[in-house]
A = this chain, B = another copy of it.
Amino acid sequence: MEKKEFKARVFGELAGLAKALAHPFRLQIIDLLAQSSRTVEEIATQLSLSMANASQHLQVLKAVNLVHVLKEGHYAHYHLADDKVVAVWQSLRELGMERLAEIERTLNDFRSQKHVFQAVTIDELLLKMEQDNVVILDVRPEKEYRAGHIPRALSIPIDQLLERIVGLPSGREVVVYCRGPFCVYADEAVDLLQNQGFAASRLEEGFPDWKSRQLPFHALSD
């Protein structure tokens, strides 16, 4: 094999990987699968796609080994194939947040509309945790909490927050987190908590970011 063919192959394969990432729905699928595995139907519903469409996107991801399938009964459970997939998604995200003004603007617009004026970073949260004066709230669906969450975090899925808000310890700062910087659950929760008089802020990042920084986390068995 000569030099030229070698390069064509290697870069061709990698470009194929990038191409598999190059669709908004497929990035959203990866963002979802980074929380926990899902069936085709769950993905279709959560992203408002037809089953056929969701299935086809998943197959694009599968063709380049970014996800794999576990068939159980008549459900096909899709998983991310590797933590490195999350790593690529995170670095793409960070690049985008730095280079694409449009993203930052969109993010700010949305947050100011929800009255979310500042976000706490993971490093800042770590400090607060050391001082033990903060309530950590996971507002993702329970299944995702069970698949892995920040130690000592309480689980109140966003759609139960209004009714369960009274159970929260008052007088302590609350930091809410969800799936990641583009997940709006935490924004909605902060809006709601602040309306009820809580000192609440959201975590900028999400649980997958916590995990990929090798910080300890808890998971509950199935």
Assess whether B95 is in contact with A10, with CB atoms less than 8 Å apart: no
Count of A interface residues, CB-CB < 8 Å: 54
Assess whether A15 is in contact with B10, with CB atoms less than 8 Å apart: no
Residues on B with C-beta less than 8 A from A102 are 9, 13
Contact string against B for A residues 62-94, beta-carbon threshold 8 Å, 1 for contact and 0 otherwise? 001110000000000000011011011001111
> What CA separation (Å) do A65 and B22 show in the bound complex?
16
Assess whether A18 is in contact with B85, with CB atoms less than 8 Å apart: no
Q: Is A28 an interface residue (CB 8 A)?
A: yes
Assess whether A82 is in contact with B109, with CB atoms less than 8 Å apart: no
14 A/B residue pairs, CB under 8 Å, sorted by A: A1-B113, A7-B184, A10-B182, A11-B25, A11-B182, A13-B102, A14-B24, A14-B103, A17-B96, A17-B99, A87-B94, A88-B88, A88-B91, A88-B92
A residues bordering B, Cβ < 8 Å? 1, 3-4, 6-19, 21-28, 31, 48, 64-66, 81-82, 84-85, 87-88, 91-96, 98-100, 102-103, 106-107, 109-110, 113, 182, 184
Known: A7-B184, A9-B102, A15-B23. 7 other contacts (CB 8 A): A9-B103, A10-B182, A11-B182, A13-B102, A17-B96, A82-B98, A88-B91
